[in-house]
Amino acid sequence: MDAKEDRSNQCQQEKEESQDICSFQFKVTPPEDTTDPQSLEIAQRPINDEEKESSPKDSTDAKSLGKSQQPNNRPDAPMPVTKSCEKYNMQMKENRGMAVIFAYSEYKFRRCPNRNVKNDIKICKSSFERLQYNVTVHFNLFKKDVLRELMKISEADHSESDSLVVIFMSHGGIDEKTNLEFLETFDSRVNTVKLWKNFTPEKCPTLAGKPKMFFIQACRGDDADKGVQLKKVILGKPIQTDTIPVGSSHVEEKEEDYCIPLYADLLMMWASYPGEIRMRASYPGMYAYNTHRDGIDGSVFLHFLCKNLDDNAEHEDLSSMLLRVTRQVAVEFESWIPADMQKGNKKQIPQVVSTLMRKVYFYD
C-alpha cells in the first residue's frame, strides 16, 4: 500500500470518527418505554365521532360573535346605538336624564367633621342643568334612605333619557377590617360600590348601553401626596428653578342585536387616588382638598369638573374634559394648611375608572 492510499484511508477513518462524535453529542436517548401495550394500542387507534362528542372540552376559549348559543338567563334590553358606533347616542337635547346629588354637610353624633357644601352643590347643579339634566339634590340622608333612592332610580323608566349622573359629596376611606372602600352617610357607612351596583342592564334595562357616570368628592384615607418637583432640562442638564409652568354623526350600520357585558358603560371618577391593599392590610388613600382661595369656594375637584363642563362641553368629548380636570387638579393646586404643616404643600390627583365603550359628546 503506497503512502497516498494510506493517507486516504486515514482521512476516511478520521471523518467517520468525527461523525460518531457529532452523533454522540447531539443524540438524545429516549426514556425507557413503560407504556402499557394495551393503552398504547387504544391511544394509537382513530377516535370515532361518538367518542369525540363524549370527550371533555376546554370551556374557557373565547368564541366569535354568533358561534355560541345565548344563555337562557341572559337578559334583554333595548339597543340605543349600533355596536360599532364610536359615540353614545346623546340626542335627548331637552332631557339628558337624571343627575342626582347626594351632599353631606353634617353627621350624626359628629362622627365626621362638618363640611360646607353649598357652593359645590350650586356649581354642580348649574353645570348639569346647563347640559339639560334633571337635577335632584339630597341633603344629609341616612344610609337606608341613600340605598332606597338608588334603588328607586334604578327602577325608574329611563327610556327617554340619554344617560345617568350621580354625584356624591362626603367623607370616605377604606375599612381596615374588610379592605372595602366606603362613603359616609349621616348615620353610617355605605360601600362605594353600592352607588352603581343596581345600574347593570339586568337591573336597569332602560339604561343598558347608555353612559352611567359617578363623580365622588370624598377623601379615600388619611395619606398625603407630597408630589415630585419636575425640572426643566436643556441638553440633558437640569436648571434649578423654583416653579413649574402651568400651563360626529353615528356610524351607519345594520341594527343587528348584540351582547354587552353587565358592567359596561360605567364611569367612576374620584377626587383623589385610592389607598393600597397588600397582604390583607389597608394602606390609607389620599386626601381630597377644599379651598376658599383663587376663586374656588369648596372642592378643588368639583370646581375644575364643572368649569370644564361649562367651558368645553359644546365641542369636546367627556374623556378629554376629564383628562384636563385630572391635570388641572394635579398641577395647579396643592394644600395650604398653616395650622398643620405636615398636611401642607401636598398634592392631589383624581382617578377615573371606566368601562365606557364609546365617546360621550353632549353636543354634536
Can you spell out the DSSP letters for 169-206?
A: ES-EEE-TTT--EEEE-SSSEEETTHHHHTTSTTT-GG
More confident residue, 284 or 219: 219
Residue 145 has pLDDT above 90, yes or no: yes
pLDDT at residue 20, as a whole number: 44
Q: Which of 67-71, 260-264, 282-286, 348-352 has the lowest mean pLDDT?
A: 282-286
Residue 280 has pLDDT above 70, yes or no: no
CA angle 267, 273, 276 (to 5 degrees): 110
More confident residue, 203 or 176: 203
| 3-class secondary structure, 319 | helix
Q: Are 351 and 274 in contact (CB under 8 A)?
A: yes
pLDDT at residue 80, as a whole number: 84
pLDDT at residue 56, as a whole number: 56
Closest by Cα among 152, 144, 125 to 136? 125
Burial call 182-213: b when 16+ CB within 10 Å, e when fewer: bbbbbeebbebeebbeebbbeebbbbbbbbbb
More confident residue, 236 or 95: 95
Q: State what percent of residues in the chain have pLDDT above 70.
A: 61
pLDDT at residue 284, as a whole number: 38
| Span 329-356, average pLDDT | 78
Q: Which of 36-40, 79-83, 175-179, 295-299 has the lowest mean pLDDT?
A: 36-40
| Torsion sign, CA atoms 163, 169, 175, 179 | positive
pLDDT at residue 68, as a whole number: 53
User: How far, in Å, CA of 161 to CA of 151, rounded?
Assistant: 17
* Amino acid identity for residue 214 in this structure: F
Closest by Cα among 88, 119, 89, 87 to 103? 119
pLDDT at residue 74, as a whole number: 76
Residue 164 has pLDDT above 80, yes or no: yes
Residue 257 has pLDDT above 90, yes or no: no
Cell numbers found for residue 362: 353632549
* Amino acid identity for residue 218 in this structure: A
| Distances 37 to 29, 31, 358 between C-alpha atoms, Å | 21, 16, 60
pTM: 0.72
Place of cell 352611567: 212
Confidence of residue 237 (pLDDT cuts 50, 70, 90): very low
More confident residue, 277 or 343: 343
User: How far, in Å, CA of 222 to CA of 220, rounded?
Assistant: 7
Identify the CATH class of 97-227+261-354.
alpha beta
CA angle 69, 73, 76 (to 5 degrees): 85
Q: State what percent of residues in the chain have pLDDT above 90.
A: 45
User: How far, in Å, CA of 114 to CA of 107, rounded?
Assistant: 7
Structural domain spans, the chain:
97-227+261-354
pLDDT at residue 54, as a whole number: 56
Place of cell 365622588: 216
* pLDDT single digits (tens) 209-221: 999 999 999 988 6
Backbone torsions φ then ψ of 222, nearest 5 degrees: -115, 15
Place of cell 369636546: 316
Residue 8 has pLDDT above 70, yes or no: no
More confident residue, 261 or 151: 151
Q: Which of 167-171, 255-259, 284-288, 343-347 has the lowest mean pLDDT?
A: 284-288
Confidence of residue 79 (pLDDT cuts 50, 70, 90): confident
DSSP state of 341: T
User: How far, in Å, CA of 106 to CA of 116, rounded?
Assistant: 9
* pLDDT single digits (tens) 92-142: 877 899 999 999 999 998 888 898 899 999 999 999 999 999 999 999 999
Place of cell 354623526: 249
Residue 241 has pLDDT above 70, yes or no: no
